[in-house]
Amino acid sequence: MKNTATRDKLIDSGAQLISQQGYNATGINAVLKTCGVPKGSFYHYFSSKEDFGLAVIERFASSYDKTLVALLEDNDTPPLERLKRYFAAGRDHMHECNHATGCLIGNLGQELSGQSDTFRDALNLVFQRWEQRFVRCLQDAQARGDIAPHTAPEALASFILTGWEGAILRAKTLKSVEPMEQFEKILFQQVLVPSS
């Protein structure tokens, strides 16, 4: 397994199609067609569709983690400002995909976590890593006194991730980023404040 170009093409096409249509609605043949790879190659690199799906998740997560680090651990920017940039990036992405795609991990979490424990575990791990990035950013904010110290950063991180994923879902059905803006506004007005 030296040549990874074909494997990469498969994963890229798969990520795109699965983002748009979901896992179950995306057939292997459709993936092959969009990237012009024969079926023999697919089953050379992946043992099954599930194996392929997990690879798509893994790739997306590790790629997304890089942008997350760049946004949330940029020490030249105040922590709350970093969070705002993260939210703005999410809104931009929502516009770019015409409010259709949203968050791949969130989509698959909704679709597959009741269907397969393997997928559920993989997706859960990604969520937990994201939460950890938030925790660190919130710790910085507490250290600077930008937000009150009385709520654990872990609790806040869970609250933020949870609310943001919900806002993405709502934005998809509404075809508007308004719920995302609404969430952010109240979050910074009432939750991420110096003191209560």
Binding site for a copy of itself (CB under 8 A): 20-22, 24-25, 100-102, 106-107, 109-111, 113-115, 120, 123-124, 127, 151, 155-156, 158-159, 161-167, 169-170, 172-175, 178-179, 182-183, 185-186, 189-191, 193, 196
User: Least distance in Å: CB of 18 to DNA?
Assistant: 10
Which residue, 77 or 124, is less far from a copy of itself as judged by CB? Answer: 124
Which residue, 4 or 115, is less far from a copy of itself as judged by CB? Answer: 115
Question: Between residue 16 and residue 55, which ones bind DNA under the rule CB under 7 A?
Answer: 26-30, 37-41, 43-45, 48-50
User: Least distance in Å: CB of 14 to DNA?
Assistant: 10
User: Least distance in Å: CB of 5 to DNA?
Assistant: 7
Residue (of 99, 83, 92, 68) closest to 187 by Cα position: 83
Which of a copy of itself, DNA, none does residue 30 bind to, with CB < 5 to 8 Å depending on kind? DNA
Q: Distance from CA of residue 185 to its chain's centroid?
A: 21
Write out the two tokens for 105.
């991990």
**Sequence-separated (6 or more) residues with CB below 8 Å from residue 131:** 154, 157, 158, 161
Q: Is 65 in the site for DNA (CB under 7 A)?
A: no
User: Least distance in Å: CB of 126 to DNA?
Assistant: 22
**183 with 88: CB under 8 angstroms?**
no
Assign residue 103 a region: left if phi > 0, alpha if psi is -120 to 50, beta otherwise?
beta
**Sequence-separated (6 or more) residues with CB below 8 Å from residue 192:** 80, 83, 141, 146, 147, 156
Q: Is 6 in the site for DNA (CB under 7 A)?
A: yes
State the Cα–Cα distance between residues 182 and 195, nearest whole angstrom: 21
Q: Note the residues at the interface with DNA (CB under 7 A).
A: 1-3, 5-6, 26-30, 37-41, 43-45, 48-50
